[in-house]
A and B are shown apart, each in its own frame.
Chain A
């Protein structure tokens, strides 16, 4: 879960990292006031959860408060990669002599945190690593031993930095590491980490990703930063359909009807679980089908939960049929899912036999499930029909309808 730049900086500042004077503004007037408060030239930056702001026109410079107001008006109206800005960060402008890069992330292979440091900041670090490997250091951290700042020092010294620069950079990189470890981050990055002409070092831009599964653990931090509980922080905000999907899942603790995502197709999907959903979604698309949604049912959802999910999907304009499919299940009960989807069809005023394009969930309690499906004349597949074939059957029915 990505934080906005101003939130990332607020987090760094709480732990003592040095920042430029600045604050986030929601309106052009607020931006003017912020610029007046800061005094002198300012930089204004669009607060969106994506890179490439400079290129898109999301970063502007101002000499005076009225200029800042004009710049903020333009930035606040500008969508970047489909995102409306959350606000505009108004910051003091400082003469930068040199830019550095510091980040902590996970090395998935070593299964340890790794500090990546470079004295060539400001530009794409992957490119620096490729062309100038001697300018990038990688320093792994233990997750069991307590963190000690000498690891930060070693990371910096490894690219050939000594003198005052080394002693001034060390506490900033150490702070970055401490923040990473303390808040279950998956990325903590300062880029650029600027050296001013007077020799001081400052955080010029920051990027923080917090692990989704650690949100509850750090609820207080997120509340302090002003992050709403319902903000998904994905590539696009959730649609009303998706919010209702989450409500269906939350309404009953039994089983999962999770991760409902909206697509613009016409075939409703009740599919599961993690891997099965990915496999089936690919299969539908390969057959030329157009999914109306994605979801992941699993665990052992109640009849009510499956029924509500079915009703939600059938309420989406343009959805005429649903396909109910999973891999061979062992914990989810086939009969309960069958009851749920049939009930959902009937409560939506539709005939199950016409609405359910196909039902392919083999496994636990399948004989009872198949009996119910037969009673309502619903087409179903046993385990002899592959997931791919079942998806093809559903798509063919959509095309014939």
Chain B
């Protein structure tokens, strides 16, 4: 199976008439995703590749069940778009937009918690369950997706959208398909962290192992290490840590917004230590990941 999205997941796109959103619509439809509507205020009555456009999310949810929304609107309108979808009863929000101040992200997260909704992102490429569906730009056009992603037992979570595809491609080349790949987002505060997605993979019988891509900044890796220890996870985890050079350059900005090391946050060396102590294997190079996964799967 997969987590979060499947073939029958119904999806809308907020901001569907934007340049990037039009691409996402095309890619999603080509991959078989059920994109049943789009929202751009004032553009009701149009269509994007046959997908009808509405003014409000409720115009769609009042007629049909909507499982998820891809939100790709400019940063200053994003919070409102997310609130609109949550209040209309949508439970899965993929926020593609980047450069949203974290105070506004925190507000989205707090409302999602109140309403029992889940946010992926912001600043992410979305979710992809191979041969099922995809929400967001992950993997690009369907033809490119099929070259890099294959169905199988590995759950992938990554703070970098591009590296999600790189890792899926490496796994696929080694015969290790993916159950679901999630680009969780590159910001300091995101809707769903590794530890928050682990229970979903844990419940998915077809997922046998997890691969994560991590970066400097934040406490997300420490949180994952704690979760693994507290929950005695059945899933072996292999991690790759990028940006090790940043340990030597505090106060400089590289990579995603979330990689900025603030206060006494973990260095990459600290993060690696913590993960290893919790039984997570840490790969030195991307190409070492498949062998580590296979080795860990042997013990299970």
Report which A residues bind B (CB closer than 8 A). Answer: 105-106, 108-109, 111-113, 126, 142-144, 181, 184, 186-187, 209, 211-214, 217, 232, 234-236, 259, 261, 272-279, 281-283, 285, 294, 296, 298, 326-331, 362-364, 383-384, 386-389
Chain B residues, CB < 8 A from A285: 245
Central interface residue in A298, A384, A388, by most chain B CB within 10 Å = A388
Contact B110 A281 (CB under 8 A): no
Query: Cβ of B166 and Cβ of A387 under 8 Å apart?
Result: yes
Give the docked Cα–Cα distance between A383 and B148 (Å): 10
A235-B252, A279-B286 known; A328-B219 Cβ under 8 A = no
**A235 and B138 contacting across the interface, CB-CB below 8 Å:** no
| Given A112-B110, A144-B107, A274-B160; A106-B254 close (CB under 8 Å) | no
Q: Is the CB of B160 within 8 A of A386?
A: no
Task: Say whether A213 contacts B101, CB under 8 Å.
Answer: yes
A331 touches B140 (CB 8 A): yes
How distant is the Cα of A184 from the Cα of B106 in the complex, in angstroms?
11
Check if B243 sits within 8 Å of A278, measured CB to CB.
yes
Question: Is the beta-carbon distance between B186 and A274 smaller than 8 angstroms?
Answer: yes
Complex Cα gap A330–B148 (Å): 10
Residues of B in contact (CB 8 Å), total: 67
Interface string of B264-289 (1 = CB under 8 A from A): 10000000000000000000011100
Chain A residues whose CB sits within 8 angstroms of the CB of B106 once the complex forms: 106, 111-113, 143
**Interface presence of B256 (CB below 8 A):** yes
Task: Out of B105, B114, B158, B262, name the residue touching A275 (CB < 8 Å).
Answer: B158
Cα–Cα, bound, A342→B253 (Å): 29
Given contacts A144-B107, A330-B139, whether A212 and B253 have CB atoms under 8 Å apart is yes
Q: Cα distance A281–B268 when bound, in Å?
A: 14
Judging by beta carbons under 8 Å apart, are B169 and A282 in contact?
Answer: no
B189 vs chain A, min Cβ distance (A) = 5
Known: A109-B219, A363-B140. A298 touches B287 (CB 8 A): no
Residues of A within 8 Å of B252, CB to CB, are 234-236, 261
Given the complex, which residues of B lie within 8 Å of A212, measured CB to CB?
253, 257
Query: How far, in angstroms, from A238 to B100 measured CA to CA in the complex?
Result: 24
Flag if A143 contacts B140 (CB, 8 Å). Answer: no
Interface residues of B (CB under 8 A from A): 23, 75-76, 99-103, 105-107, 109-111, 114, 137-141, 144-145, 147-148, 158-163, 165-166, 169-170, 173, 186, 188-189, 213, 215-216, 218-220, 223, 240, 242-246, 249-257, 259, 262-264, 285-287
Q: Which residues of B contact A275 (CB under 8 A)?
A: 158-163, 186, 213, 215, 242, 255-256
Q: Find the residue from A112, A113, A143, A283 having the highest chain B CB count within 10 A.
A: A143
- Known contacts A109-B223, A275-B158, A327-B163: A144-B103 contact under CB 8 Å: no
Is there an interface contact between B255 and A388, defined as CB atoms closer than 8 Å?
Answer: no
Q: Is the CB of B254 within 8 A of A330?
A: no
- Majority secondary structure, A binding face: mixed
Closest Cβ of chain A to B196, distance in Å, is 10
In the assembled complex, which residues on chain B have CB atoms less than 8 Å from the CB atom of A113? 103, 106
Tell me if A278 and B255 are in contact (CB < 8 A). Answer: yes
B140 touches A214 (CB 8 A): no
Chain A residues whose CB sits within 8 angstroms of the CB of B76 once the complex forms: 217
Q: Which of A235, A279, A327 makes the CB contact (< 8 A) with B250?
A: A235
In the complex, chain A residues whose CB is within 8 Å of the CB of B213: 275
Given contacts A282-B242, A282-B243, contact A274 B223 (CB under 8 A): no
Closest chain A CB from B246 CB (angstroms)? 7
Write out the residue numbers on chain A whose beta carbons fall within 8 Å of the beta carbon of B242: 275, 278-279, 282
Q: Which residue of A lies closest to B168 (CB)?
A: A328
Q: Which residues of B contact A386 (CB under 8 A)?
A: 170, 285-287
Q: Which residues of B contact A294 (CB under 8 A)?
A: 254
Q: Bound complex: CA of A257 vs CA of B270, how far in Å?
A: 31
Contacts of B246 in A (CB 8 A): 278
Q: If A234-B252, A386-B170 touch, does A184 touch B103 (CB 8 Å cutoff)?
A: yes
Given contacts A276-B166, A277-B254, 14 further A-B contacts (CB under 8 A): A111-B105, A113-B103, A234-B253, A261-B254, A273-B161, A275-B215, A279-B286, A298-B162, A327-B160, A329-B162, A330-B137, A330-B141, A387-B286, A389-B287
